[in-house]
Structure formats: structure tokens, C-alpha cells
Amino acid sequence: NAGVTQTPKFQVLKTGQSMTLQCAQDMNHNSMYWYRQDPGMGLRLIYYSASEGTTDKGEVPNGYNVSRLNKREFSLRLESAAPSQTSVYFCATSFKTGNTEAFFGQGTRLTVV
Amino acid sequence: AQSVTQLGSHVSVSEGALVLLRCNYSSSVPPYLFWYVQYPNQGLQLLLKYTSAATLVKGINGFEAEFKKSETSFHLTKPSAHMSDAAEYFCAVTSDTGRRALTFGSGTRLQVQP
């Protein structure tokens, strides 16, 4: 049982390059989330998808786009990477939004040079 | 809007000593509160959650937390620290209105000294 799978695990980009972070879950959850983790700032919500076919902005959406491809997959795209986007990115899922536990992937460590 | 404040970015205790990690929340509606733990180079895993039932919540690995509405607090405790408890701990809040996604505190790194 894989749970929440993120790819890639590590990535180095040059400023201005684009890339897509992939997230897939086999938990049959309705809601999916993208967070970024920076030292001393905890996890901040970038975008989330309450259910298939919907996406909403979180606290720090600028510079990112998302696609909820189907119930299982939720991707995060950086169109033109900037050094300020150097971070660890986590995908999470939950059965629904609100009062339910979220399950996290192992993270993607992204460095933008 | 909802928010979480974790007092103390680093806490150091001796093995066998009491662990106390502080969390205060702000929410205009009834909150749901969570504690997550993150071991090095891993994702987060749930320790425990408060969802408006019992105010004293027991979680995994001997941790517990008490919801105190009057103090807007949800502090995490463990009577006796173990070396394996060394990790980063995050308090988080959500609700059934508004964004309804977890809002995290800045985290507390727990060190356990032998």
C-alpha cells in the first residue's frame, strides 16, 4: 500500500526553468493539498483540491499552478522557477476537508539556482 | 481566519524527563486541532487530534494533549522522554468553515539528551 507518492524526490532547477511535481494517492481520498516547508515557517498551503474537479488557492499560491488530473493525481507546476521557490514540497491527502486526518507524502526537495 | 502559535522553536530535555510542547490557536469558529511529528527527511505523521469530543486526547507513542478553550491552548505532553522522540513537532488547526485545510504552526524541534 503506497499511500501518497511524490515524484521526484530531489530536483535542481535553474532560474526561469519550469517543472511539474507529481503526486498520486491510492487511498481513495477526495481532498488533496500542496504545502511548502521552509525553516522556521512550518508548512504553508500553496493550493488544495477539496474534490475532483475543484482547486483553490492557499496562503502562498503566487508562482504556482495546479491540476487535479483525476481523483488520484494532483500536480503542482512551477512555470518560471525563482530562487525563492527553493523549498521542500509536500503533497497531502484526506478523505474530506475540515475535520479529518491528512496523510503526507515523503516530500520533494527543490533547489532553484 | 485561523492560526497557530508554537512557543519555542527548540526544546531540549533529558531522557526520562517530561516533554511539554506548547501550542496556542486562534479561530473564530470551533477548531479541530492536530499534532503531527516529522522525523528527519520524512513526511509528517499524525500523533493525535482533537475533534470536539474529549478534551484530553491520547495519541501514539505515549503522547497526549489537552484542549483548553479558555486558554486557547492545545499543549502536547509526554511523561517520560525517549531518545526516539527526537523530531520536529507541528501543531495544526482547521475547522468546518472557510478554507477547511490544515494551518500549521512553525514547529518545535525536540532534542532528547542522554
Q: Counting beta carbons within 10 angstroms of the beta carbon of residue A6, is it exposed (0 to 12), middle (13 to 18) or buried (19 or more)?
A: buried
Residue A69 vs residue A111, higher pLDDT: A111
A30 reaches B (C-beta below 8 A): no
DSSP A13-62: E-TT--EEEEEEE-S--SEEEEEEEETTTEEEEEEEESSTT--EE-S--T
Report d(CA A103, CA A54) in Å as an integer: 19
The C-alpha angle with vertex B14 and arms to B10 and B20, in degrees rounded to 5, equals 50
Residue B53 vs residue A109, higher pLDDT: A109
Lowest mean pLDDT among B35-39, B93-97, B106-110: B93-97
Find cell 508562482 and name the residue.
A63
Search chain B and give the residue with CA nearest A5: B43
What confidence tens digit (pLDDT) does each residue in A50-100 have? 999 999 999 999 999 999 989 999 999 999 999 999 999 999 999 888 878
Q: Identify which of A42, A92, A99 has the shortest CB distance to residue B90.
A: A42
> Cβ–Cβ contacts within 10 Å for residue B54, how many?
10
Search chain A and give the residue with CA nearest B100: A98
- Does A2 score more than 80 pLDDT? no
**Residue B29: pLDDT band by 50, 70, 90 thresholds?**
confident
B95 reaches A (C-beta below 8 A): yes
- Residues of chain A neighbouring B102 (CB-CB closer than 8 A): 33, 43, 45, 92, 102
Cell triple for residue B64?
497526549
A43 and B99 within 8 Å at the Cβ level: the answer is no
Average pLDDT, chain B: 93
A99 and B90 within 8 Å at the Cβ level: the answer is no
